[in-house]
Structure 1
């Protein structure tokens, strides 16, 4: 059985990705080379395109497979279609970053490079359209742009990445590019979870009269065979696999990484455009999730709590509100306490680990360890990075019931540090003082009884109760106050402060305060 390797072609609009996928491929699919009528009309790629090159396996891979199918995922390059590009990023094993040699790195080239860094997959840079440069000046232009690319990649994980000049239209250096792809394919560590629950991301859904509905996509994990039952989680439906094809050839079984068309019956293709199918229970619907927050360094705006972001998860992009929290432990655990953060602090000297609670505006499909990428897609500037942060799903609220959602939030022990400051009004005795200005008149002072507070002179006491009808409280000490403190309180110029610090958990419905 041939080994399938999914190769994403990413880059700025009009850099020649579709022309490159055409010249590289000897197999096309129903979704290849801008067959969409709107793509033809506008002259740009609007959706993911799929084609393939079937080749013999290189010597180093012959023990593992009898052949390779290089599936090319042609991603759109227009800035308005970044959601689709992120969806394509989900399924690729390797990346070709296509750069127009005459224009160099453009805004969406940069965003595609960032997606490559997030994905941490191997990359080849292609300098396309070298035929557009006069032959006498071509070598100099190639050398100059190769150096520019190398300098751009230096601070990234792609330092030292191979750059290949080609012309997709004139078929220049395409053989050299295919050899480089083979070399990278031999280095790939394809740790594909074939023994995991079946999970399939489909990007096209259409009907064939007399056959059924075809879901074409990529197996993310697990295996599937004809007559197996699958779940369509977004619709809560179960169906059986009637037949399968891999690039127009019938197959009995598909494994992780394969690009296949799955045929099911008794299903209206108009109900879905793209999404997930799976073994029952693998994918859940959720209003909220928690991720380990990884800031994208090229995003120049502040990342603040209670801010809305466009959150792309799989093929979906949903508005969501975030709450940032942190502690000094790298792992997330419901039993641990986390400090609420107003915003991410760059160059944080405390080396805190940031997490984010993501609350979606409408429920989304989520599976374990799924990647989420957050963006600000409403920015009007075209020359800035819109990708803000990313992270893999750590936990999710697997119920969309309101009470269950509240219960999920209450399990998150996220607190805000609170503090109050008052003044010592007078001395009752060596063990007790009266404090003013620590609370407002309307505050329920009984909630603060037995809490510790500290004098600016260093002594620590306990709030023992209210005093009078105003905002005053009594503070008692287990040991007598120092004579210096007593003398200072008795003097008319006393300025001794009383400090009270406590934690307030933001999702505690009883609004308790803890020290």
Structure 2
């Protein structure tokens, strides 16, 4: 970071994700089209394999850049294709303006291709370019058939079915420059002017961190709101640290500021332990709020075939990290109350309870993806539902939205008493029940009259129900009775009600 500073940052860059199944040719394509490499570009660390056999180059996001035919700066984000590394793709997808999805023409849409297309459908459904790679291995008829199947797949996944499809052979001896030109023309057809917020306080999605001995720590990321300026103080809330920007670059050029949508690399000092650092969103002091509870919208993923019950746990990718959370599916009722549903039953909202604190910017649209990442590859779609965080709630769990579940107890009439206005009932409570909790609760009968629980009758769990009208000749012995309850979870309170 030694070049002289410039007074302005790049204007109007776009972020282009490079997606596809493992070994589909993502990095090879990136090498062909990129003009300048940056953080972890072109498999910079591909020197070994991990213990589980995954090539090390797939463990990271790679960043490089190219210029479109119209002169637009494009940041290329080379994403890993292995199913076990989807967290990196989930993080990167939130900054996509466009995407290139590379598909093996022989294999077609594979599991990771499908997941990547689903992510593209959430963030840039009309800005996708398909590259059919390895066309040297297929006959013309196979290529045509594959293209038709891809278009059908795009439509089913919510991606523009008229997205450009470019035939490609990236292998040496088969690659032709006209293929690259066709790709650039396809990219150009999807160039647009994104809406960027450059007025709000800056936020940056940080993806890499490394120390420079004797100088400090370098961090790289994408500015997602506002303008990052030289000498700005940045808070790293997860580390409980703050640092000042000493030098600032974009694509290896020293600058005085970097605006929303552009890549930034900046040096902070003193250094901190890079091993404590993970992908995250950072901003000025006090910009991010710590919480464990969030209310969010729910958009089910149609390809997720399993049910998700309330109070079950799920991986939630948000704010450039993935955290486990318990989910409660809620339907809003009158007076600001929410009914807790037994499972995801759209339309509904979700209350997330995270296992650890997360740090979120307020007054900012925080998209998320909920997924069963523990699910074995090949056993179906792992993405369950997505949405937007609508309300950041207090971290201490107080003042959470009032939530209730419906319960129903059944019993029967044992006999109608001589006064004709009361009945002794049984079969609903245990002998040790504290009837003070249920006194005054409404009882519904099969024949119509409604009464109220007066209290216990004896010590065997029987109880007396009184009625405002005469019931002799209406209620009969063994007639079924019902007690409908709302159990409020945050107050440990029971309320009786009469269903509509």
TM-score (norm 1): 0.86
Tell me, what secondary structure is at the counterpart of 1:438?
A: coil
| Aligned counterpart, 1:202 | 206
Aligned residues: 474
Asked if structure 1 preserves the Cα contact closer than 8 Å seen for 2:43 and 2:62, the reply is yes
Asked if structure 1 preserves the Cα contact closer than 8 Å seen for 2:39 and 2:208, the reply is no
> How far apart, in 1, do the equivalents of 2:109 and 2:308 lie?
26
Deviation string 1:78-116 (CA, Å, 9 cap, x unpaired) is 111111111111211111111011221111001111111
> How far apart, in 2, do the equivalents of 1:254 and 1:43 lie?
31
Please give the residue correspondences for 1:269-288 in structure 2 after superposition, counting only pairs within 5 Å.
Answer: 269-270=273-274, 271-288=276-293
Counterpart among 88, 94, 118 of residue 90 in structure 1: 94
Q: CA deviation at 1:248?
A: 0.5
Deviation string 1:382-430 (CA, Å, 9 cap, x unpaired) is 252111222221223443xxxx22x24xx32221111112222222323
Tell me, what secondary structure is at the counterpart of 2:189?
A: helix
Please give the residue correspondences for 1:283-362 in structure 2 after superposition, counting only pairs within 5 Å.
Answer: 283-327=288-332, 336-345=336-345, 352-362=346-356
Please give the residue correspondences for 1:396-407 in structure 2 after superposition, counting only pairs within 5 Å.
Answer: 396-399=392-395, 404-405=396-397, 407=398
Counterpart among 106, 126, 130 of residue 135 in structure 2: 130
The alignment status of 1:392 with 2:377, answered yes or no, reads no
The alignment status of 1:419 with 2:430, answered yes or no, reads no
Counterpart among 160, 166, 190 of residue 164 in structure 1: 166
The alignment status of 1:453 with 2:443, answered yes or no, reads yes
Distance 1:500 1:101, change over 3 A: same
Q: CA deviation at 1:6?
A: 0.2
Q: CA deviation at 1:362?
A: 2.2
The alignment status of 1:373 with 2:348, answered yes or no, reads no
Distance 1:115 1:55, change over 3 A: closer
Asked if structure 2 preserves the Cα contact closer than 8 Å seen for 1:167 and 1:174, the reply is no
| Aligned counterpart, 1:332 | none
| Aligned counterpart, 2:3 | none
The alignment status of 1:9 with 2:18, answered yes or no, reads yes
> How far apart, in 2, do the equivalents of 1:473 and 1:207 lie?
73
Deviation string 1:310-329 (CA, Å, 9 cap, x unpaired) is 22223322222222222479
Counterpart among 484, 488, 495 of residue 505 in structure 1: 488
> How far apart, in 2, do the equivalents of 1:233 and 1:497 lie?
58
Deviation string 1:164-202 (CA, Å, 9 cap, x unpaired) is 11233424411121122122113x5x1211112211011
> How far apart, in 2, do the equivalents of 1:441 and 1:234 lie?
52
The alignment status of 1:117 with 2:99, answered yes or no, reads no
Name the structure with the higher helix share: 1
Where does the alignment leave 5 or more consecutive residues of structure 1 unmatched? Answer: 59-66, 330-334, 346-351
Counterpart among 404, 414, 433 of residue 443 in structure 1: 433
Asked if structure 2 preserves the Cα contact closer than 8 Å seen for 1:327 and 1:353, the reply is no
Asked if structure 2 preserves the Cα contact closer than 8 Å seen for 1:32 and 1:49, the reply is yes
Deviation string 1:47-74 (CA, Å, 9 cap, x unpaired) is 1000001357x4xxxxxxxx52101000
Where does the alignment leave 5 or more consecutive residues of structure 2 unmatched? Answer: 1-9
TM-score (norm 2): 0.89
> How far apart, in 1, do the equivalents of 2:377 and 2:56 lie?
23
Deviation string 1:180-226 (CA, Å, 9 cap, x unpaired) is 2122113x5x1211112211011111123454321111011111211
Please give the residue correspondences for 1:91-110 in structure 2 after superposition, counting only pairs within 5 Å.
Answer: 91-110=95-114
Q: RMSD of aligned C-alpha atoms? A: 2.2
Distance 1:90 1:38, change over 3 A: farther
Higher deviation after alignment, 354-363 or 10-19? 354-363
Tell me, what secondary structure is at the counterpart of 1:103?
A: coil
